[in-house]
Amino acid sequence: MNHETTRGRHRAPGRHNPLNELKLLARESAQPAMKGAAVVAATGGLVATFANPASADTVSAANGAVAAAGVEAAPAAVGPATAAASTTTAPSALSKIGFAPAVQQAIAKRTPTKVRVIEDVQVKEQRAAAKAEKAAKKAAAERKAAQRASRDLTRRSLTQSTSSSKSSSNDYTPSASSGSHSSRNWATRGQCTWGALNKWYQSEGYYPGGWTGNAMAWASGAASAGYTVSGTPRARSILVMQPGVHGSSSVGHVGWVTAVNGNEVTIVEMNALAGPYNYNTRTLTDQGGMRYIYAP
């Protein structure tokens, strides 16, 4: 007679004990929980909640076995005693991973550290140098403005003084007559005669006319054209100099009188010190050989 061999646990009839089977299952299923508790105890209880807990039946069975032996049952997971003793509220998910609200509140109440600003010495020196340069430029500009104002004041004073002298020196001169007019500057361009007629036009608004010839003949020519000609210097007149007077050429020389101070006569002349087509200013002493054609 052949018998089939079946894998698994086989017992002889009559030896099967359900209670023994339950105890064996409880002992085998409790081993992982006890191992997890040992690991938690070694690490200070920080990961106690992550150990796989035994089932309620297993823990109850294990505790019953220990109680039967007369030993007080130990908890399945071992952690810091202070945590259980000081906790008065239900644990939260954050407290299970080590979050302590009291510690966070203490950190929040700390006085914030004052920010310390570190200065850049090079940048500070550059800014100071730029500021000093700006102040120096401003001071230089103020000095120049003061000097310019002083020159203007001096110039005005001299002008007023010259005007007063000119008026006093011309008070005794006879009134001037108006002679013939011309529509153009009839002298040779670039010469002293052209320059004198041009200054007359700039002052009076027209060109005198009615005579021609070289500079030395202008006094007699202007008198014949109706203009007042005198030996007394006066501003707003054409000075006629004979050859050799104050360096005049062989044909004489003419210039426009701008100021008179006693016997000192200031003129603007062309083709003299500055050459043809150019003006220059001179102050001459009145002497013989000098005549003046007055503008009206």
Quick one: how far is CA 120 from the chain centroid?
A: 19
Report yes or no on 117 lying in a domain.
no
Angle at which helix 18-42 crosses helix 56-68, to 10 degrees, equals 100
User: Among 84-93, 197-206, 248-257, where is mean pLDDT lowest?
Assistant: 84-93
Q: Determine the Cα–Cα distance for residues 59 and 76; give it in Å rounded to an integer.
A: 8
Residue 140 has pLDDT above 70, yes or no: yes
Q: Name the more confident of 235 and 11.
A: 235
How does residue 116 score in pLDDT terms, banded at 50, 70 and 90? Answer: confident
Asked whether residue 277 is domain-assigned, the answer is yes
> Mean pLDDT throughout 256-283?
96
Decide which of 76 and 176 is more confident: 176
Q: What are phi and psi of 102, to 5 degrees?
A: -65, -40
Domain boundary among 83, 109, 136: 83
Does 7 reside within a domain? no
* Nearest CA among 103, 128, 43 for reference residue 77: 43
Give 245's DSSP letter: G
**Domain's final residue, options 83, 107, 140:** 83
Query: What is the domain-level CATH number for residue 274?
Result: 3.90.1720.10
Q: What is the mean pLDDT of residues 203-228?
A: 95
Do the domain assignments include residue 155?
no
Tell me the pLDDT band of 44, cut-offs 50, 70 and 90: low
- Of the two residues 296 and 123, the one the predictor is more confident about is 296
Averaged confidence pLDDT in the chain: 76
The closest of 212, 74, 231 to 241, measured between CA atoms, is 231
Per-residue model confidence (pLDDT) at position 36: 58
Residue with tokens 């001071």: 139
Q: What is the pLDDT of residue 84?
A: 44
Can you give the residue range of the structural domain that contains 207? Answer: 181-294
Report residue 159: phi and psi, to 5°: -65, -45
The C-alpha atoms of residue 62 and residue 57 are separated, in whole angstroms, by 9
Q: Is 154 domain-assigned?
A: no
Which of 83, 118, 139 is the last residue before a domain boundary?
83
Distances (CA, A) of 269 to 13, 48, 57, 228: 158, 118, 135, 21
Residue 103 CA to residue 5 CA, distance in Å, equals: 67
Residue 212: the pLDDT is 92
Highest mean pLDDT among 20-24, 92-96, 97-101: 20-24
Position 40 in a domain: yes
Percent of the chain topping pLDDT 90? 44
Q: How many domains, the chain?
A: 2
Residues 6+ apart with CB under 8 A from 95: 87
Specify if 220 maps to a domain: yes
In the prediction, which pLDDT does 43 show? Answer: 52
Strand runs labelled E in the chain: 181-182, 207-208, 229-230, 237-241, 253-261, 264-270, 279-285, 290-294
Neighbouring CB atoms inside 10 A of 248's CB total: 21
| Average pLDDT value for residue range 81-101 | 56
Closest by alpha carbon to 294, among 225, 241, 234, 252? 234
**29: region left, alpha or beta (phi > 0 left; psi from -120 to 50 alpha):** alpha
Average pLDDT over every residue of 89-97: 61
